[in-house]
Amino acid sequence: MKDIIEILNEVNPGVDYEHEEELVTNGILTSFDIVTLISMLNMKFDIDISVTDLVPENFESAKAIKKLVDKLK
Amino acid sequence: MKKRIFNLISFCMFIIITINFLYVGGFFLAPKGTDYDNQGGSYTVNGLYNLKDNQIDVLFLGDSSMSRSVSPMRLYEDTGITSYNYSINSSRVYMAYYMLKDTLLTQKPKVVFFDTITLFYEYREREEEQRPSFDYMRWSKVKMEALNDDLFSENFFDKVSFVLPIFRYHDRWQHLGEKDIKPLFSSKNSITRGYYLSGSYKPNKRASTYMNKNDKEVHMLKETEEYLYKLVDLCKENDIDLVFLGIPDSLVWNYASSKKMEEIAEKTDTVFLDLNDSDKYEYDWNTDSENGLTHFNISGAIKTTKYVEDYILDNYEFKSHKKDPYYDNWNKDLKKYKKMETKTLKELKYNIDNNIQYEKKKSYKKK
Amino acid sequence: MSYTSLQFLIFVVVLLFVYYIVPKKYRWEILLIGNLVCYYLMSGWLLLFVVLASLFSYFGAKLIEKRKEKRKKIFIISLFSVLGFLLVLKYNNFISSLLNPILNIVNLNIPFKKFILPVGISYYTLEMISYLADVYLKKIKPENNFFKLLTFYTYFPKVLEGPISKYRDLSKEIFSEHIFNYESFRKAWVLIGVGFIKKLVIADRCGLFVSNFFLEGHTGLLTIPAIIFYTIQIYFDFSGCIDIVSGVSELFGIKLAENFRQPFFSQSIEEFWRRWHITLGLWLKEYVFFPVSLSKTNMKLNKKMRNAKYKHLSKFILVAFPLFFVWFFNGLWHGPTLKYVLYGLYYYLLMMLGILFKPVLEKIVKILRINTEVFSWKLFRIIRTTFIVCIGMLIFRSETITDAFNTLANIRVMDSVKFFELGINIKEFVPLLVMIFAMFFISLAKELKIDVREKLEEQNLVFRWIVYWVIIFSVIIFGVYGRGYDAASFIYGGF
């Protein structure tokens, strides 16, 4: 979880990723951010996040992202 | 449930009021007549509706030419016979047909004089032919019949704009002036009974030659012919004597036109009173023409009215209405008319004495 | 049959009547019949194209679901079968202009041919692609009832100019049961009325003098207001049409997706394209941007660059690569010529420059102690964005890029005409300005999150009726229609 938050801060700093639950709906993460995020997650965890995984629910919070990453590992 | 009924009622009310606004708004925005003050177009139409039922003995139908040629008030003054000069600029025979049909709903003229000038026209001015009278015609089965006639529309939207003129004239908001608003609130009475008083003059140089024998051929458009026969039949059905009146016009009429008109008159068993015949009918072409080509001024109208009057007296026995209280409004209006006529005659005399000739496109100086 | 024609209004009223008389569960079927009738009135027998393409998308989706092993192949085939119509009918000349230079070498040539397009083909093709992609990506299950799918594609309010809808969203709206609601009914008509004002009073009036300016090739300082009014014209034409169709759709209880959100309050190009033709932007984002950016190619490219220590550049390329395709297709979708592609790439170039120079610009702002939270800064950004958009519109309007340059260059040439000689006089200009300002205030209210239509609904009857009459008579009196006008057909309607 910590490493995910670290990556999130690198993509888009200055947000409380521990508690934010609506990263996509509230527009905190833009489409560019998401793409950057995914590329970093792919590299860090050696996974392959594809378009099928690109549903808002998977990226609304750090927790959700972790769930996705774990699923794909 | 109560709310539903309220909603339904308020919805219907909204629609009804809106349509009323649209209808009334159309009359604000529509052009009222021609460029003239208190004359032509809507004034002529409204003036006829303004009369009491069954007041008209004789009806004159035609276009701008007829409107300047016969003065019903002079006829009334001399004979006590009531008539109306129901002529609209640019009108054609099909308009005359519908206008007569509409008039017959409230009036019973015995004689109808129809100006033959437009019969051989081959050009169309669709809107000018129709709108000035149609817009002011009252809603009746005649108006509905006219609306269904294909002559009145090129498409569905056109027909809608005939029902609600605001859709045709909406753009005129830019051009609204006093002459668009005043008529809505002033009297609908036409003192001149549709006759247009003109005090301008210009010598007509073609008058002596336009009726010379020639080899020309004149044609009637198919639709003109169709409606001419309809007009003839309409008069027959209603026991009306139709008279073709040839009002002198050196611009569009000539020897061939008169010849053709005689043929048509014979074919339809109608009288053709050809005032173009200079042997029978005299005019002073230096002073009688309004614009040197086509229309008469007051001087020419006085003569024309006399010729028509003679014809009526020779052929009919009309009773004078001058002592009849039902025709009281005519006696009153006659007084007013005489004042207007005198003024116009003065204007004409002034113009002739000072050689101020008619100029096209310039509106008259209203004194 | 255009959306501002009397025939269309009558069609809507008649269909509404039938729709609400019929029992609720049959209403969508009435809609289907209405859609087909409307489409036929607009496009005649070209209706068969949309039916055929719908069949392809229907069977394609079902097969993708059924044949798990071959789903990718089936998806690609259905995709191209649906896209094929668009490519052949609309992009044939564009494709042949690219291929012919090569084909000519072997003495072959694809002849130039302009086909009549089935109405809305550019819009419904995107919707079909989105439907197939959603089924392929398992976002939705394929629709079992072909006629429901056909109803969606041919849905008459959106068929001419969009909004580009997603089956997964709009189907819920169309096929749910609709009860007549008088308040929504009234609100819908208000939206339609405002749309008519935007189109007939503002856009078409601008069109009177703007087209004369460009067609007659005028020069001089007037070019500037000409470009500005052209931009105003396009905005009110398109968004006015969208208002009309959204309102019409609401009459049937169906909400269409938002397509405009006060775009001229945007402070950047990115924001502008999130507020202008929103559904196109969303489509491109979901079906071009994300698939390309998350593709193996892009990811590999990114990895390679990172490993080669081009960290910042790799981050840039990560979005720049897919964005190229986004803007390329945005431009190309608008028209099958090079000019339109360049129109898209114009925004791409500016966006890329913006991203590349972002750190530099941020530093400059810091040094100059510019406060970026204040109104004046935001206003500056709004004006800057509007300027960029106006130039973009000039490109959109010009025949070629060179023409656009020439028009701009001609600003320095002597004035060849006066403003009120172009086809509009001072008297006519006044209601135009008044209406533009009225629309501006409505947009401002919406920007401040005030639901104007809802607020109007809350007012009492007399006030509401007065507002309704102001709208109705503004359209009837100031609308550009009837004799003496050539009513401008919808600018976005040739798609």
Contact: A31, C289; criterion CB under 8 Å: yes
Touching C: A residues 1-40, CB under 8 Å: 31-32, 35-36, 38-39
Contact: C294, A35; criterion CB under 8 Å: yes
B42 found inside a domain = yes
- Closest among C248, C283, C274 to C127, alpha carbons compared: C283
- The predicted pLDDT at position B365 comes to 37
For residue C73, pLDDT beyond 50: yes
In this prediction, residues C270-286 reach a mean pLDDT of 95
Strand B83-87 and strand B58-62: the pairing is parallel
What does the pLDDT look like over C158-184, one tens digit per residue?
999 989 999 999 999 999 988 899 999
For residue C264, pLDDT beyond 80: yes
Q: Are C61 and C78 in contact (CB under 8 A)?
A: yes
CA distance, residue A39 to nearest chain C CA (Å): 6
For residue C488, pLDDT beyond 70: no
Q: What is the dihedral of CA B51, B55, B60, B64, to 10 degrees?
A: -10
Mutate to test the interface with C, among A39, A46, A57 (most CBs of C within 10 A): A39
Contact: B21, C465; criterion CB under 8 Å: no
Q: With an 8 Å CB cutoff and a minimum of 3 pairs, decide whether chains C and A touch.
A: yes
Rounded to whole angstroms, the Cα distance separating C331 from C396 reads: 9
- Compare CB distances from C6 to B25, B156, B173 and report the shortest one's residue: B156
For residue C44, pLDDT beyond 60: yes
CA distance, residue A1 to nearest chain C CA (Å): 23
Q: Token pair of C100, please? A: 């012919």
Residues of B in contact with C472 (CB under 8 A): 18
**Is C469 touching B (CB cutoff 8 A)?**
yes
Q: Domain containing B75 — which CATH number? A: 3.40.50.1110
CA distance, residue A19 to nearest chain C CA (Å): 26
Phi, psi for B61 (deg, rounded to 5)? -120, 135
B24 found inside a domain = no
Report the 10 Å Cβ neighbour count for C170.
Answer: 21
Phi, psi for C223 (deg, rounded to 5)? -55, -35
- The predicted pLDDT at position B362 comes to 47
- Compare CB distances from C285 to A31, A49, A50 and report the shortest one's residue: A31
Peptide bond into C163 cis (omega under 30): yes
Helix axes C146-153, C47-66, angle to 10 degrees: 130
Residues of C in contact with A51 (CB under 8 A): 137, 290-291, 294
Which residues constitute the domain of residue B245?
Answer: 31-353
Which residues constitute the domain of residue A22?
Answer: 2-72
B20 found inside a domain = no
Domain count, chain A: 1
What CA–CA distances, in Å, run from B17 to B20, B30, C182? 5, 20, 19
- The predicted pLDDT at position B34 comes to 55
Domain count, chain B: 1
Residues of C in contact with B173 (CB under 8 A): 477-478
B11 found inside a domain = no
**Is A58 touching C (CB cutoff 8 A)?**
no
Q: Domain containing A30 — which CATH number? A: 1.10.1200.10
- Compare CB distances from A39 to C137, C139, C299 and report the shortest one's residue: C299
Neighbours of chain B (3+ CB pairs under 8 A): C
What does the pLDDT look like over C292-350, one tens digit per residue?
999 888 888 888 888 877 777 888 888 999 999 999 999 999 999 999 999 999 999 99
What does the pLDDT look like over B214-226, one tens digit per residue?
888 888 999 899 9
- The predicted pLDDT at position B37 comes to 62
Q: Token pair of B146, please? A: 């006219």
- The predicted pLDDT at position A25 comes to 86
Instruction: Give strand pairing partners of B272.
Output: B244
Closest chain B residue to the Cα of C5, Cα to Cα: B157
What does the pLDDT look like over A33-47, one tens digit per residue?
999 999 888 888 888
Contact: B168, C479; criterion CB under 8 Å: no
Residues of B in contact with C477 (CB under 8 A): 25, 29, 166, 170, 173
For residue C218, pLDDT beyond 90: no
Q: How many C-alpha atoms does B44 have within 13 Å on its Cβ side?
A: 35
Q: Token pair of B3, please? A: 């709310």
Lowest pLDDT segment from B30-39, C268-277, C473-482: B30-39
- The predicted pLDDT at position C240 comes to 96
Rounded to whole angstroms, the Cα distance separating B113 from B308 reads: 9
Per-residue DSSP letter, B30 = S
Q: What is the pLDDT along chain A (73 residues), one digit of tens a residue?
A: 788 888 888 888 888 888 888 888 888 888 899 999 998 888 888 888 888 888 888 898 888 888 888 888 8
- The predicted pLDDT at position B38 comes to 65
Alpha carbon B111 to chain centroid distance?
16
Regions of chain B with pLDDT less than 70? 33-38, 154, 360-367
Contact: A38, C315; criterion CB under 8 Å: no
